[in-house]
Structure 1
Amino acid sequence: MSRSLRVADYIAQRCAEAGARHVFLVTGGGAMHLNDAFGRHPQLTPVCFHHEQAAAMAAEAHYRTARRLAVLNVTTGPGGVNALNGVYGAYVDSIAMLVVSGQVKRETYLRNFPQPLRQLGDQEVDIVSMARPVCKYATTLQDPQAVRQVMDRALFLATSGRPGPVWIDVPVDVQSTQIDPEQLPGWNEDDRQALLDDPGLCPNTRAWLAQPPRRQFAAELETLTAALAAARRPVLMAGTGVRLAGMQEAFIALCDKLGVPVVTGWNAHDSLTDDHPAYAGRPGTVGDRAGNFAVQNADLLIVLGCRLNIRQVSYNWRSFAASARKFMVDIDAAELDKPTLSIEHKIHADLADFIPAWLARLEAYAPPAAHTDYLRWCRERVARYPVVDATQRTSDRPLNPYHFIELLFAGLDRNAVVVTGNGSACVMGFQAARLQAGQRLFTNSGDASMGYDLPAAIGACIARDRQPVICLAGDGSLMMNLQELQTLVGYRLPVKVIVLNNAGYHSIRQTQAAYFQDNMFGIGPDDGVSLPDFVALAGALGIPARRVDSADSWQAAETSALLAGPGPALIEVVVDPAQAFSPKLASRKLPDGSMSTPALDDMSPFLERAELAANRLDG
């Protein structure tokens, strides 16, 4: 005999069956049956936050860390609206997430009526119309009997192809409706036409379903392998798609087999350790000189799972690897065709299929001498142009931020996870970190929102079964989700919050100094953006805290004890706000107001023209 249950309980059960173990949420009346169902399910653990944006960011980081689907549960109106920023970050960074929101009763749901009202139900908002552009799939479940079909499609789409968030909006009267699970119609994954007819799909998802990645690419592999053999200066570039495809180990085997210079794209630096013999740097607008020299001198560039966004190729994208024959492998065909790229060989494939197939094709391959010579040249540039040099390793107070990043990573365990916010924490952190095997370093790249650091570190910590996580946050960024310090306290999570105190919004300070020097404001305590005493604030919440401003105070026993202790801790690191991002690509403002951007290898502070020319290989 079948058992009747609420729609909300069915949704919770399907989440558990899909592998979810945590539900990140802020409770609310519009989601009351969903809240109750998630809280009752024996395989699901609710994690409560003080803001829905933070809950969404935590769910996003949970998937990054564990590759396990996380559930976000929010209420109607402000609950869903607050979550959008974190969900958008998951969408552009290809992170799977299931969002289940509460909605008003169907009898007061405005979309069911013709009148052009602004609102009908209490706290009502048309969240699906807002969410659909930043979700693979977004729909309102108005028919309780359709819940299985909707869950089938949502769970399939979240993790299939290019991962991303899906959103199911559930009216409160539907949440409580009793259903018989055995009588529910479902959806078969082979019935792609029915899915294509679903209005809940976003355009990118619809395009992927209409043109899925190829599973066979023998001809492309022959062309690529022949191009590799003919090249004198090949470079392999890895993006976040390598890890998202579960191909990290296979990628390292590929690097070992090819014997060519390997560079890592933005937010994918933990794909390859600094001590790997093929490591050749981190190219991009705020990358390093060595990585950009490697790419700009290449005659063959092979891009695996990196969408080559503007931060990677710059606004002068026409000069990106201009002399190279380019092969790009991506699971999203739209990324291969975007107007900021010129790719000769576009391979629409899942790296989970492509990398093993290429490794098999390369079984008898041995790198030619020219590749070894170019790898040696690139490795020499890594040694010659370090991000952190002797001028930054001083005992001066305040501490140089690049020197601090060097000290931080030198003392981390081999399995450390470091989550950063946007701004100085990720730019300087990504440039200067020396990464070891097993370590993770990430932020949200596409959204690049301030305030990501703390909630994402919480999500990563939960994904690691409460193992310690380093949260590297700028003082301005931390303020955006400061309330989640109390979440650390409430759950006693061993997140070690390291606050870079550089007196406010350092990225914007540099922009204003470069282009609006006579009108600098909204960047720090002297011009409108006040900041608290973070150590005192942490103390008020019961978080052990300490302030350091030198290498000696960072390396002191008291600091080490805070980092090693149980539960949360906060260390405020006072760093020199005079230290700009270095190196970086610097645009010039022309008399007509337009901006001119140099090629990626011509980074600020600018090298002598003769030295730059010596690093540009001919032919």
Structure 2
Amino acid sequence: MKLSDYLISFLVDQDIHHVFQIIGGASVHMVNSIAQRKDIDYICVQHEQAGAIAAEAYSRMTKNLGAAMATSGPGMTNLITGIACAYFDSTPTIYITGQVNTFESKQGRNVRQVGFQETDIVGMVGPLTKFAVRIEDPLLVRYYLEKAVAIAKGGRPGPVLLDIPMDVQRAIINPKNLKRFNMKELAPDVDTRGDIRKSVRAAIALLQKAKRPVLVAGGAIRYADAVDTFNRLAQVIGVPVVTTWSGIDTIHHSHPLYRVQNSDVLVSIGSRLDTRITGGKPETFARGAKKVVIDIDRAELYKRRGLDPDIGICADIRDVLPVILQELKNVKFPNWRDWKKLTLGWAKKYPSVVPEWYERKILVDPYVFIRTLSEILDNKAIVVTDCGANLTWTIQAFHVKKGQRLFSAMGNSPMGYSMAAAIGSSIALHKRPIICIIGDGGLQINIQELQTIAHYRIPVKLFILNNHSYGIIKQFQEMYFNSRYEGTTPKSGYGVPDFIKIDDAKLIPKLSFGKPIEDLSPELPREEFLANMLIPTI
């Protein structure tokens, strides 16, 4: 059996049915092996970065591995941005690269390169993957494949990379003679069941004494497929809930507990409590609160002085939440009626979208647009947003309904993410419609993927929030450089094309508007269109 055929058969056995790729000389054998089968297909993107991101989003949607493939040299290095997205957002994704023949490689010699496009991708992505290896012995292909999958899915999930030389790809093997991986080689660093139960009881005792408790819902709840369990827990405890950006779709906005301001007991579930949550001075974050933090990564529990938890539980959420629910069966909590009323009052007093923004007569306010979009979308909508200002507007103004998905690459946050992620999401869900929110800057990073959308007829509804600038950086320049704009505006070198004219060549329906929002609502439910919205520069 040809090794590349075995490789693809293994992917199918892992329930992977699409591989995002651009073919190259070092990956031809693997792509050809995909083409010989009917139970897996390759998706041709226009840039490997987009393929790497699409695979990461594919994993989010399928709750399984996503896969991307690239050739040697520039093909493999183009994957790195997407690999970083998967790493920082803990998404299990497998990346496979073709490499020069083993007899053409450096093999430890102190030279830069021997084979054409030879590149040490394993060394490059080591800090951005959970596991990366070059397979030089054909008899170890099963071992490394099984090990890679186990590592990608185990513990805190993340990306893995397998670099396979061309002569190894075309090697003839007998699957019966291949070495297998033993799961005992992996020793997860998590708390024992006894320690978990002991810590849970201590956390419950804190909550029983609390006057202003809060639950923080992080992205790991979604990654662990524990959204329903978490919602049951929130209902049983009955305390206000705040979500992180990554956890925004773990609880719907109309849920009566979705409120928070400050607390005396804070229980964080599945959040690494990064600086977007705590601010630059972690010692000031919830400084009046006892903190209970549940995280599968022990290093995240004690990473910064001033933020060490009073009770830290290092375990998989899927193991912890059932224990909490069991321990709560005979527990009575205060009703916290006054606290919940107070937080609800704050939410009403300080809305993210104020009424006067709806009354603008010239251009659409971005917060109003996002809020109106969220009101129109049904509860099955999947929304991918990009980075910068459009990410901030979306997170602040979008009211998530039960059943909806809203996500972005919150850790790496590259421009152009949402375009590629929308492609991967739709392919994963059998071409289900995806809402893509992106800025003019982000679109130009992956604008070539409009061809992928058009070629495969992928139902992506693309909303371009076009402020003709790098808005977030422009705001930074206003704060620290006395509004001296360099590289962020048309006058300082940044340029924006006419997206409508560019997209004419792609045969994609589109609509451009800049009227007040009340004139637009009838247009929003159209089946497919490309929107080029002109909004005020920030």
Q: Deviations over 1:492-542 (max 9, x none)?
A: 011011000111210001000111125311112221011111111111221
Measured after TM superposition, the shift of residue 64 of structure 1 is 1.2
User: Does residue 503 of structure 1 match 2:468?
Assistant: yes
> Which of 241, 247, 264 is the matching residue for 1:299?
264
Is contact 2:215–2:267 with CA below 8 Å preserved after alignment? Answer: yes
- Shift of the 426–554 alpha-carbon distance from structure 1 to 2, 3 Å rule, reads farther
User: Does residue 515 of structure 1 match 2:480?
Assistant: yes
CA distance in 2, matches of 1:428, 1:334: 32
**Coordinate RMSD, CA, aligned:** 1.4
CA distance in 2, matches of 1:471, 1:553: 22
Which residue is equivalent to 1:435? 400
Tell me the secondary structure at the aligned position of residue 431 of structure 1. helix
CA distance in 1, matches of 2:332, 2:119: 60
Tell me the secondary structure at the aligned position of residue 375 of structure 1. helix
Is contact 1:397–1:576 with CA below 8 Å preserved after alignment? Answer: no
Which residue is equivalent to 1:134? 128
In the TM superposition, 1:120-519 aligns within 5 A as: 120-192=114-186, 209=187, 211-216=189-194, 217-280=196-259, 291=260, 294=261, 297-339=262-304, 341-369=307-335, 371-517=336-482, 519=484
- Shift of the 415–500 alpha-carbon distance from structure 1 to 2, 3 Å rule, reads same
Which residue is equivalent to 1:80? 76
Which residue is equivalent to 1:23? 19
Measured after TM superposition, the shift of residue 190 of structure 1 is 2.0
Measured after TM superposition, the shift of residue 552 of structure 1 is 4.5
Measured after TM superposition, the shift of residue 546 of structure 1 is 1.1
CA distance in 2, matches of 1:279, 1:559: 28
Is contact 2:382–2:435 with CA below 8 Å preserved after alignment? Answer: yes
Is contact 1:213–1:331 with CA below 8 Å preserved after alignment? Answer: no
User: Does residue 104 of structure 1 match 2:100?
Assistant: yes
For 1:22, the aligned partner's letter is H
Give the gaps of 5 or more residues in structure 2: none
Measured after TM superposition, the shift of residue 416 of structure 1 is 0.4
Measured after TM superposition, the shift of residue 69 of structure 1 is 1.2
For 2:299, the aligned partner's letter is A
Moved more, 422-431 or 60-69: 60-69
Measured after TM superposition, the shift of residue 213 of structure 1 is 4.4
Q: Deviations over 1:353-403 (max 9, x none)?
A: 10011011111333313x232122111111111100012112322211111
CA distance in 2, matches of 1:141, 1:238: 40
CA distance in 2, matches of 1:210, 1:352: 15
> Which of 515, 518, 540 is the matching residue for 2:505?
540
CA distance in 2, matches of 1:237, 1:107: 54
- Shift of the 113–226 alpha-carbon distance from structure 1 to 2, 3 Å rule, reads closer
Is contact 2:371–2:399 with CA below 8 Å preserved after alignment? Answer: yes
Which residue is equivalent to 2:532? 572
CA distance in 2, matches of 1:380, 1:219: 36
Is contact 1:474–1:500 with CA below 8 Å preserved after alignment? Answer: yes
Give the gaps of 5 or more residues in structure 1: 193-208, 281-290, 579-619
CA distance in 2, matches of 1:211, 1:385: 43
For 1:336, the aligned partner's letter is L
> Which of 99, 113, 134 is the matching residue for 1:119?
113
CA distance in 2, matches of 1:513, 1:246: 42
Measured after TM superposition, the shift of residue 72 of structure 1 is 0.8
CA distance in 2, matches of 1:219, 1:113: 51
Overall identity of the aligned pairs, in %: 35
Moved more, 541-550 or 120-129: 541-550
CA distance in 2, matches of 1:553, 1:570: 19
Measured after TM superposition, the shift of residue 554 of structure 1 is 6.0
Tell me the secondary structure at the aligned position of residue 185 of structure 1. coil
Aligned length: 536
- Shift of the 169–222 alpha-carbon distance from structure 1 to 2, 3 Å rule, reads same
Q: Deviations over 1:35-90 (max 9, x none)?
A: 11122232212111010000011011111122121111111100110000100110
Measured after TM superposition, the shift of residue 113 of structure 1 is 3.6
Tell me the secondary structure at the aligned position of residue 511 of structure 1. helix
Which residue is equivalent to 1:11? 7
Is contact 1:90–1:96 with CA below 8 Å preserved after alignment? Answer: yes
Is contact 2:216–2:267 with CA below 8 Å preserved after alignment? Answer: yes
